[in-house]
Amino acid sequence: MRYAPIVDRLANEGARAWDVHSRALAYKNEGRDVIVLSIGDPDFDTPAPIVEACIDDMRSGDTHYSYIDGSPQLRAAVAAYHERNTGQAVGADNISMSLGAQGGLYGAAACTAGPGDEIIVPQPVYVTYESVVHATGAEMVSIPLRPERDFHLDPADVEAAVTPRTRSIMINTPHNPTGAAYGRQDLEGLAEVCRDHDLWLISDEVYSRTLFDGRRHLCPATLDGMAERTIVVDSLSKSHAMTGWRVGWVVGPPSLRQHLYHLGLALHYGLPTFIQQSVEIAFTGDFPEIATMLAHYQKRRDLVLDRLKDVSRIRVIKPEGSCFMMVDIRDSGLTSQEFSDRLLEEAGVSLLAGEGFGPSGSGFLRFSLTAPSAEIAEACDRFARFVRGLNR
Ligand X SMILES: Cc1ncc(COP(=O)(O)O)c(C=O)c1O
Contact pattern for ligand X over residues 210 through 249, marking x by CB under 6 A: -------------------------x-x-----x----x-
Q: Which stretch binds ligand X (CB under 6 A): 7-15, 100-108, 251-259, 370-378?
A: 100-108
* Contact (Cβ atoms closer than 8 angstroms) between residue 200 and residue 194: yes
Q: Which stretch binds ligand X (CB under 6 A): 15-23, 72-80, 99-107, 109-117?
A: 99-107
Closer residue to ligand X, CB minimum distance, 168 or 235: 235
Residues 6+ apart with CB under 8 A from 298: 212, 213
Closer residue to ligand X, CB minimum distance, 175 or 257: 175
Instruction: Provide the minimum distance between the beta carbon of 70 and ligand X in the complex, in angstroms, as a whole number.
Output: 15
Should residue 362 be labelled a site residue for ligand X when binding is judged by CB under 6 A? no
Residues 6+ apart with CB under 8 A from 156: 189
Should residue 204 be labelled a site residue for ligand X when binding is judged by CB under 6 A? yes
In which order are the strands placed within the sheet that holds 315-316? Answer: 315-316, 324-328, 364-368, 352-353
Q: Which stretch binds ligand X (CB under 6 A): 72-80, 96-104, 293-301, 357-365?
A: 96-104
- Compute and round to an integer the Cα radius of gyration of the chain: 21
Among residues 124, 34, 38, the alpha carbon closest in space to that of 351 is found at 38
Q: Is 367 helix (H, G, I), strand (E, B) or coil?
A: strand
Should residue 172 be labelled a site residue for ligand X when binding is judged by CB under 6 A? yes
Number of residues that make up the chain: 392
Q: Which of 67, 81, 106, 126 binds ligand X (CB under 6 A)?
A: 126
Q: Which residue, judged by CB position, is nearest to ligand X in the bound state?
A: 100
Task: Name residues contacting ligand X, limited to 20-49 (CB under 6 A).
Answer: 40
Among residues 298, 277, 296, the alpha carbon closest in space to that of 288 is found at 296
* Contact (Cβ atoms closer than 8 angstroms) between residue 191 and residue 220: yes
Among residues 220, 245, 226, the alpha carbon closest in space to that of 235 is found at 245
Task: Name residues contacting ligand X, limited to 274-313 (CB under 6 A).
Answer: none
Closer residue to ligand X, CB minimum distance, 121 or 311: 121
Contact pattern for ligand X over residues 131 through 170, marking x by CB under 6 A: ----------------------------------------
Instruction: Provide the minimum distance between the beta carbon of 113 and ligand X in the complex, in angstroms, as a whole number.
Output: 18
Instruction: Provide the minimum distance between the beta carbon of 21 and ligand X in the complex, in angstroms, as a whole number.
Output: 13
Q: Is 204 helix (H, G, I), strand (E, B) or coil?
A: strand
Closer residue to ligand X, CB minimum distance, 88 or 102: 102
Cα dihedral angle (175, 178, 181, 186), rounded to 10 degrees?
A: -100
Among residues 338, 386, 336, 346, the alpha carbon closest in space to that of 366 is found at 336
Query: d(Cα 118, Cα 219) in Å, to the nearest integer?
Result: 23
DSSP designation for 118:
E
Should residue 178 be labelled a site residue for ligand X when binding is judged by CB under 6 A? no
Closer residue to ligand X, CB minimum distance, 96 or 237: 237
Should residue 102 be labelled a site residue for ligand X when binding is judged by CB under 6 A? yes
Q: Which of 176, 203, 273, 370 binds ligand X (CB under 6 A)?
A: 176
Should residue 319 be labelled a site residue for ligand X when binding is judged by CB under 6 A? no
Q: Which stretch binds ligand X (CB under 6 A): 27-35, 63-71, 95-103, 305-313?
A: 95-103
Closer residue to ligand X, CB minimum distance, 324 or 339: 324
Give phi and psi for 162, each to the nearest 5: -70, 135
Give burial (CB, 10 Å; 0-12/13-18/19+) of 162. Answer: middle
Should residue 101 be labelled a site residue for ligand X when binding is judged by CB under 6 A? yes
Strands 139-144 and 118-123: parallel
Closer residue to ligand X, CB minimum distance, 134 or 307: 134
The residues facing 139 across adjacent strands are 118
For ligand X, the binding residues (CB under 6 A) are 40, 100-102, 126, 172, 176, 204, 206, 235, 237, 243, 248
